[in-house]
Amino acid sequence: MAIIANGSDAPAFSLDSHLDSKVSLSEFAGKKNVLLVFYPLDFTPT
């Protein structure tokens, strides 16, 4: 996994949403602030 420096632009990507559709980061460009959070062990028993 590549490390992204603070303040740099996030790479373009798409993810499945809970509404059975795709959501792309580019959909929010210039519209809203977006916070990307990574939880590596979320929803696990650890």
Given this model, what pLDDT does residue 11 score? 84
CB-CB neighbours of 7 under 10 Å: 5
Answer yes or no: pTM beyond 0.75: no
Residue linked to tokens 């993810």: 15
pLDDT at 46: 65
Phi first, then psi: what are they for 36, rounded to 5°? Answer: -100, 125
| pLDDT tens column, 1-46 | 678 888 888 888 898 888 889 989 888 888 878 877 777 777 777 6
